[in-house]
Amino acid sequence: MFTILKLYKNASLYPNTYLQIRLKSKTHWAKLKKKTGPKYKALNHFDDFYASVFGYKWESMREALLRKSKYVAVVNNYGDAEETMVYLSKTGAHCLKNLMSIQQEFHKDYPSNDAKIEKQVQNNSAIDNYVSRLQSDEISKIYPQDGSMPEKLELHEATLKGAKDVKEMKFEEPIENLDKAIENAEIDYSRYIEPAMGMTSEALYQYIPATKLKGMDDYVPESLHYSFYSSQGGEFPLVIEPETEFKFPEHLKIMTYEKDSEMHKFPEPKRSQTGVFNYYPMDGASVLPILALCINPGDRVLDLCAAPGGKSLLALQTLLPDVLVCNDVSVSRTNRLVNIFRNYLIDFETGNKWQERVMISRKDGRNFTDDQGFDKVLVDVPCTTDRHSVMEDENNIFRPDRVKERLRIPELQSQLLVNALRLVKVGGAVVYSTCSLSPIQNDGVVHLALKQAFQMDGILAVVRDMSEPFNSLSSTLLLGTGKALPKYGQLVIPDISANFGPAYVARLVRVK
């Protein structure tokens, strides 16, 4: 936009001088451009799906999700632990164990009636309605909706002449050879060539130019992601019991700020006198899976998807496991885990006690095997990592080239959980966790894995309800209630006053 302004400076010398200037828009052109990056695609997806599941609660969850997450400080027992706790206390932080004890006493004196009022059926119905709408949209993109499709196919009169039935029909000979017919034919781009039809690439190239074909692999229906939740049917023993064995590890020292505290960021970790960092910062919701393991002294523990290593380090800070096996299929991520251990454990690479107690494995968790079995198994599975997906484009699961990977996430998750149930001893516990709000990846995967483990391997596991022990965290973080309440686990919901998570945690105990 341009405008003409009179130039008043030296107006007496140049009375007829004018200046043409351009008025700048308040919004930069780049911001006006349609946002199509992975993080915006993720946010649009969550707006559509999570709003259908959580209703009006999604707005506050969304606002918190788009802000920086809150952290806790895991004090390093191999550094200056007591001095570090005093130092962090002066910044206004509190010991998480003390906060939980105070809150637990409060709940005993003033019991809450916030039971599971809204049943899981409401969540199921919301997801079913969403999937039905999604499938309708997918069908409308493939098939014409203008009524142009014929109701029936009509044969030419010449074809039916003198024929009493289909066997006597005489078809006219083609007047053109095959090459000329193909050259003049109009190609139907709405058709898909499926590789399973047995047609070789050589045959396809011979008759139709490859540039005019669209392979089936290029199209993956979004509703495929939700099939795991809708396929929960099937008879198998399902038992949900309250958790009675929970006990906060005596030597685990975690410092945090309370809800609505003005302080929300810890100072940078420092090297202690032993050369290791004095504390490890991590999302407060990531503490829950280790607490849910209920590790006992001498336990043999497996972290099936261990990298980048925060939860494995937290398990070691309890000083309880006799052996900790850290497994991850990614070499680069496993290197990050080793680097964390090197910075937080004294003489990790050279100390004999670490070589005996900590074992690092690089295998696909679905195929991981062990002859001795484990007392506790943590399955912190790959997921849509909701907070990262709406904040960063780098390594985003919503990138166009990762569509198939994203839609098959529940399949991978269920396979990992089933194998974890195979690896744990009878009487041992498996903790399944994600950093997603999706009921598909959370309750849906747990139900499917319990069903598959029973039907394929005869494994029977009960769900331990952690709502009672985790209620003592109410002064620190926000747990899901109502429509945001899972059936099998606990859901940490991002909240402006306590911006942890999201995280889902379910505890399963193998009984057969």
DSSP code per residue over 16-49: T-EEEEEPPPSS-HHHHS---SHHHHHHHHHHHH
Question: Hey, what are 215's tokens?
Answer: 């392979």
C-alpha 343/C-alpha 335 separation (Å) is 12
Question: Could you give all domains of the chain from N- to C-terminal order, each with its CATH number?
Answer: 47-124+227-510 (3.40.50.150)
The answer to whether residue 12 scores a pLDDT higher than 60 is: no
**Greater model confidence, 168 or 72:** 72
CA angle at 174 for the pair 168 and 178, rounded to the nearest 5°: 130
Which has more confidence, 315 or 220?
Answer: 315
Q: Which residues pair with 282 in a beta bridge?
A: 72
The verdict on whether 326 is a catalytic residue reads: no
Range of 223-232, 237-246, 317-326 with top mean pLDDT: 317-326
| Structure confidence at residue 475 (pLDDT) | 87
Q: How far is residue 263's CA from residue 255's CA, in Å, rounded to a whole number?
A: 12
- Rounded Cα–Cα distance for residues 17 and 8 (Å): 8
113 — pLDDT class (breaks 50, 70, 90): low
For 352, phi then psi, to 5°, come to -65, -35
pLDDT exceeds cutoff 60 at 359: yes
Between CA 258 and CA 70 the distance in angstroms is 11
DSSP string, 299-324: -EEEETT-TT-HHHHHHHHTT--SEE
Cis preceding-peptide flag for 308 (omega within 30 of 0) = yes
**pLDDT, tens digit (0-9, with 9 covering 90-100), for 256-290:** 998 877 666 899 999 999 999 999 999 999 999 99
Assigned token pair, 179: 């090459």
pLDDT greater than 50 at residue 118: no
pLDDT digits (tens, 9 = 90+) for 360-388: 999 999 999 999 999 999 999 999 999 99
- The one catalytic residue among 294, 326, 383, 435: 435
296-342 confidence digits (pLDDT tens): 999 999 999 999 999 999 999 999 999 999 999 999 999 999 999 99
pLDDT score for 413: 96
Which segments of 177-318 does DSSP mark as H helices, in order? 178-184, 201-207, 227-230, 288-293, 310-317
Class of residue 204 by CB neighbours under 10 A (exposed 0-12, middle 13-18, buried 19+): middle
The answer, yes or no, to whether the previous bond of 502 is cis (omega within 30 of 0) is yes
The answer on pLDDT for 473 being more than 70 is: yes
pLDDT score at 311: 97
Residue in the block written with tokens 């105070």: 102
Cα(340)–Cα(292) distance, rounded to whole angstroms?
Answer: 23
pLDDT at res. 135: 76
Query: What does pTM read for this prediction?
Result: 0.79
Q: Mean pLDDT over all residues of the chain? A: 81
Task: Give yes or no for residue 204 having a pLDDT over 50.
Answer: no
For the ranges 296-300, 415-419, 472-476, the lowest mean pLDDT is seen at 472-476
**pLDDT over 90 for what percent of the chain?**
56
- What pLDDT does residue 144 have? 59
- Phi, psi at 213, each rounded to 5°: -105, 145
Whether residue 490 contacts residue 480, with contact meaning beta carbons closer than 8 Å, is answered with yes
Question: Is 60 exceeded by the pLDDT of residue 202?
Answer: no
Range 49-79 burial, b when 16+ CB lie within 10 A, else e: bbbbbbeebbebbbebbeeebbbbbbbbbbb
Which pLDDT band holds residue 40 (cuts at 50, 70, 90)? Answer: very high
pLDDT at 49 exceeding the cut of 50: yes
**Strand locations in 36-80 (E):** 71-75
pLDDT, residue 291, reads 97
**Paired tokens of 12:** 């007496």
Give mean pLDDT, residues 42-67: 93
- The Cα–Cα gap between 232 and 238 comes to 12
Between 291 and 32, residue with greater pLDDT: 291
Q: Which of 180, 328, 319, 167 is nearest to 249 (CA)?
A: 319
Are 469 and 439 in contact, with CB atoms under 8 Å apart? no
Residue 467 confidence (pLDDT) above 60: yes
Nearest CA among 498, 384, 393, 508 for reference residue 454: 508
Rounded-to-10 torsion of CA 130, 53, 69, 282: -100
Q: What is the pLDDT of residue 131?
A: 77
